[in-house]
Amino acid sequence: MAPAVHLGSGKVRELYALDDERLLLVATDRISTFDVVLPTEIPDKGRVLTGLSAFWFARTRSICPNHLLAVRSDGRSTECRRLEMLPIECVVRGYLTGSGWKDYVATGSTSGHALPPGLVESQELPEPIFTPATKATTGHDENIDAETAVELVGADRFREVERIALALYRFASAHAHERGIIIADTKFEFGLDPDGVLVLADEALTPDSSRFWPMDGYRPGQAQPSFDKQFVRDYCESLGWDKTDPGPELPENVVAGTRERYIEAFALLTGIDFDAYLDNPEIVLR
Ligand SMILES: Nc1ncnc2c1ncn2[C@@H]1O[C@H](COP(=O)(O)OP(=O)(O)OP(=O)(O)O)[C@@H](O)[C@H]1O
Ligand SMILES: [Mg+2]
C-alpha cells in the first residue's frame, strides 16, 4: 500500500490522502476553545469524536449518503471518500443560543429568519432553522443569510442541503431526546462526489460540532452549561485569558473532568460502553 500523503492539519484533525479517491481523517486529542487550540490535550477525545461520528453515519444513510468507508482499529482514524467540499458550514439550530441568540437580540432575526418576539436565551425555536455560515479559513465562521449561501452553492443545492441538514437534525435530536440530551444546534459539512451527488462528510453530531445540553437542568432564560467544554471554558474564563493565541495549559483536574464528560456524552448517545468501543471500534456501526 502506498504511504498516506499528509494534506494538512485542521484545528483537530490531520488529513491524509490514501489515494485519489480516499482520505484518512485522524482525529487528534487537541481541544480548541474560543477558536484557539490549547496546548494541553484531552486523552481519547479524538476517539470519542470518531466513534460518535461513525455511530451517526451508520444510522443516517437513509437520509443522506456519507463519506465513511471504514473506522480503523485505533478508534481515531477514519477512511473516507474524498469529496469536493461545499464552501458553507451547514448549521441547524433548534434552540436560541450562541451567535443565533446574539443576532436575535440585536435584530429580532437570525440569518434572515424572522423569529417571534419575546424569545428568551436558550429557548426552543418553534421549528429548527437552517443558518449556514461561511467557512472562515482563519478566525471565526460568519453567519450568512440564504441569499449569500445561494450565491456560494446555487439555489438548487442550497434547497437540498437545507432539507437534508434539517432532516438529519430532526432525526438525531429525537434520538438524543430519548437519552436525556438536547442537541441545541449542530453543524454539518457536505461535499459532492464525482457524480455530483451530495454526501455528508467531516464529523457529524459530535460535542465539537454541536451543543449538547443535559435535559435535566435545562433552564430557558439563561446560558446552559454545555456538556463537554464547560470545564475548559470556565477555567479559561477564571484566568481572565484574552482568548487569543496562545491559550493556557489546563490543569489535571480540568483535563480529567473534560475527558469524563466527552466519554459520558458518547456512552449516553450511543448506549455503548466506551471501553467496548476501544476494544472494537466497529461496534458503533452495528
Ligand atoms: N470527505 C472529505 N473530503 C474532503 N475534505 C474533507 C472531507 N471530510 C472532511 N473534510 C475536511 O477536512 C478538514 C477536517 O479537519 P478539522 O475539522 O480539524 O479542520 P477545520 O474544520 O479546518 O477546523 P475546525 O473544525 O476546528 O474549524 C476540514 O477542512 C473538512 O472540511
Ligand atoms: Mg472541522
**Confidence (pLDDT) at 3:** 79
**Confidence (pLDDT) at 230:** 79
Tell me which residue has its CA closest to atom 22 in ligand 1.
10
In this predicted structure, the answer to whether residue 1 has a pLDDT above a threshold of 70 is: no
> What is the chain's length?
286
How far apart, in whole angstroms, are the C-alpha atoms of residue 260 and residue 275? Answer: 13
In this predicted structure, the answer to whether residue 195 has a pLDDT above a threshold of 90 is: yes
The torsion of the CA quartet 44, 46, 52, 55, rounded to 10 degrees, works out to -100
Dihedral class, residue 111 (left if φ above 0, else alpha if ψ from -120 to 50, else beta): left
Of 143 and 92, which is predicted with more confidence? 92
**Confidence (pLDDT) at 22:** 97
Write the DSSP symbol of residue 37: E
**Confidence (pLDDT) at 229:** 81
Write the DSSP symbol of residue 282: G
> Atom of ligand 1 at shortest distance to CA of 83?
3
SS3 146: helix
228: nearest Cα among 253, 202, 265, 203: 265
Asked if residue 53 lies in contact with residue 172, where contact means CB atoms within 8 angstroms, the answer is: no
How far apart, in whole angstroms, are the C-alpha atoms of residue 79 and residue 17? Answer: 10
**Confidence (pLDDT) at 141:** 80
Burial class (CB in 10 A: 0-12, 13-18, 19+), 233: middle
Q: Which amino acid belongs to residue 197?
A: V
How many angstroms is it from 202 CA to the middle of ligand 2? 7
**Confidence (pLDDT) at 34:** 87
Quick: pLDDT tens for 197-206. 999 999 999 9
Quick: pLDDT tens for 100-151. 999 999 999 999 999 999 999 999 999 999 999 998 766 678 899 999 999 9
Quick: pLDDT tens for 36-61. 999 999 999 999 999 999 999 999 99
How many angstroms is it from 118 CA to the middle of ligand 2? 33
How far apart, in whole angstroms, are the C-alpha atoms of residue 50 and residue 46? Answer: 6
Q: Which residues line ligand 1 (CB under 6 A)?
A: 10-13, 15, 23, 32, 67, 80-83, 85, 189, 191, 201-202
